[in-house]
Every structure is written in C-alpha cells, then in structure tokens.
Structure 1
Amino acid sequence: MTLPTRTFTVTRADLVRYAEASGDHNPIHQDQAVAEAVGLPGVIAHGMYTMALAARAVTTWFPGAEVVSLGCKFTHPVVVPAEGGVDVEVAGEVKDAADGLTTVALTVTSGGQKVLGMPRAVVREAADRA
C-alpha cells in the first residue's frame, strides 16, 4: 500500500529552533561561510532534523500508533537557502503488516535527490498495544 507523500518546507529559522532544542549548535547548520569553508554547498539541515520529518510523516499516516523503530543512513545533505526554504518530501510504502507491527519503507528526497538511505519505520497501532 502506497501512502500519500508528505512535504515539509525547511527554513533557516527551523534550523535555529532545532539547534536550540537539540543542543546541536554546529555552525554548518547556520553559517553560510563556515559551511562553505568545510566544503559544503551551503548551510545544511541537521540530519536528525531530516529524520524527524520522516518520523512526523509516519505519525500522520498512523495517528496514535507507537513508532517502535525508525532508522536510516544520512546520504545527502539538505541545503537550506538563506531566503525562503527547501522542501523535503517523504513518501512511504507499507511493506509488511504482521503480529501487530507494520513496516514502512520510506523515500525521503529534497530537490529530487534522496537524502536518507534505507529509511524504514516500524509502527504498532494503538489497538495492538498490550
């Protein structure tokens, strides 16, 4: 079963808020000159923030469900422009549903580029919790 794609717009203000909440104040997530000095194409979103957007999509597809596991590899940065934002799209497909657990294969892209490798979530629906 294919799940509807969710699109999230990421702005630099989001990165500032995430840095405050997470304690990750690495300047590559806020300072263009620093990001470019270390070889990045610009300010990039925190990998864990990008992963959190994938989790947000999962919780909208399965409201009230428990996210049992969520995993991925960080494969490509999400470059966030100084003005406006950049879209991160999260698509999902149910791969397995057995024993009260649903496994969802995710595809997470930005600008047509996959930004998370092998993202996968496992959820337990509220009615299935013991």
Structure 2
Amino acid sequence: MMTDVVESNGSLTRPEAGRPGPGAPGSPVDGPSGADDARPEAGTGTPEPAAAARIVEIRERIDEIDRALIELWQERARLSQEVGVTRMASGGTRLVLSREREILERFRAALGADGTQLALLLLRAGRGPL
C-alpha cells in the first residue's frame, strides 16, 4: 500500500515502490537503528542542532502547560457540575444565563473570538449541552 507523505516544506510525495517511506523502519529519515531521533531534525523540522535542541526544550514546556490545562479543565468542570447540582437541589434553575454571559465576556475580552469559543467549550463541559 502506498502512503502519501507531506514533506516539511508542504510538498506531497509518494515513496517509490520497494523503498520504505520516510519514517518507516530502516528508511533514511528513520535512521539505521529504526529510531525516529537518528538525526537532529527528527521531529523538530530543522537540521540545525542548537535550534532542534531549543525546540525540544520549548515543546517540553508546552507539554507541561497542556497537562496543567487538562487538570484545570477537569477541575473546573467538576466544580461547575457541583454548582449546578447544588443550585437545582435547592430549587434553583439549571442555568444562570447572566453568569454564562459574564464568563463569555471575560474570555472574549481577554482572547477575542477564540476566547468566546473556548468559554463556550468550558461552559458546556460543566453544564452539558443546552
């Protein structure tokens, strides 16, 4: 089976018949050991070792931030669900639209249109779909 490959410059290539494609075990990009990190640019998009090392460092920090965001997202959803359960158990409404508008505006003001989309996702995670 032939698989199209998108090169780092955006061009589309197809491996030649009988030759492994980039990233396949034993291919030039994969290196002789079969490890993806056989060359400095593996996974970083640059052949310059110092730039590749810096990219790896930055990505490690991005991964830390992603883990924190996921944990915070989950905590926020749990807390929001608890608010809803507590409100409804005491005879209140399922939603408080003024609170949702406040959150949407806070995120929009800080992040623009993307902030609005993020806030909508956060709200949905806590209260479920409307």
Report the TM-score when normalising by structure 2.
Answer: 0.25
Higher helix share: 2
More strand by share: 1
Task: Give me the TM-score of the superposition, normalised by structure 1.
Answer: 0.25
RCO greater where, 1 or 2, for CA within 8 Å and sep 6 or more? Answer: 1
Q: Highest CA radius of gyration, 1 or 2?
A: 2
